[in-house]
Amino acid sequence: MHDDGPGGFSSHDASFAYWNSPVLETVAMLFMVLSGISFLRYFAVWRSRSSAIVLGDAEVRAYLLVMAGAVAVLTPVLAGNAVYEDHLSALRAAAFHVVSMATTTGYASTDYALWPAFGPVLLIFPGCFVSCAGSTGGGIKMVRMLLLVKQARRELVRIIHPRVVNPVTLGGATVPPTVLAAVLAFMLIYGASIVGLTLLMLLSGLDLVTAFSAVIVCVNNIGPGLGQSGRPATSGC
């Protein structure tokens, strides 16, 4: 499913840094998180009058878990490298940018290209797969990543136990082999596109960071990239 989200576009060149407001950032994070969940889940909640459908969904749980994990990793990195004076400021910056990039909204409240190299790289990769299918987010979608991980785990088990019956399941239902084959084919095309386009960008004379990040953010419609492909706090893309 293609992305219908902002992809980094903002009403101001400085993006959310224009307001420098923790309240506005918190409100924005709330709606970015909600937009990254499948709209079909909201319809199901409205029909059933119960939020258990959303909270019990494997894709939604993985979606929230990955973002929480990225925030938990990035916060001490920012605080430990003295990027921010205290852990609360580091948490504020980490949470906003992880949510923004993971949901492919692409907003920024600071120039994270100035962070230690680990930070910007960590921000870009969740945008490739975190958003749920049926949401406004771009990327390959969390459900495909879940199926890919489950399929890889099954193959590792079958190496040790060749005769074991270990079907891939999602949400309590067995996933048909045709669906798994489609996911693997999609991932092959996706990976080949990333590699091929990056090589073409390098052929044009760009450096590796700019070429790779430009391809990643454009294919997944994330928004701002690294290197020459955009400075997030001063440009929308």
Q: Which H, E and C letters describe 49-75, residue by residue?
A: CCCHHHHCCHHHHHHHHHHHHHHHHHH
CB of 91 closer than 8 Å to CB of 21: no
The pLDDT, as a whole number, for residue 201 is 95
pTM: 0.88
What is the reported pLDDT for 20? 84
pLDDT number for residue 12: 67
What pLDDT is stored for residue 2 in this prediction?
Answer: 39
Could you list the mean pLDDT of each consecutive 10-residue stretch along the chain, which spans 237 residues?
A: 52 77 94 94 90 88 97 95 90 96 92 91 94 93 96 93 90 92 96 97 94 94 82 44
Alpha-carbon distance of 140 to 133, in angstroms, equals 8
The per-residue pLDDT for 4 is: 46
Q: Quote the pLDDT of residue 237.
A: 38
Residue 234's pLDDT is what?
Answer: 43
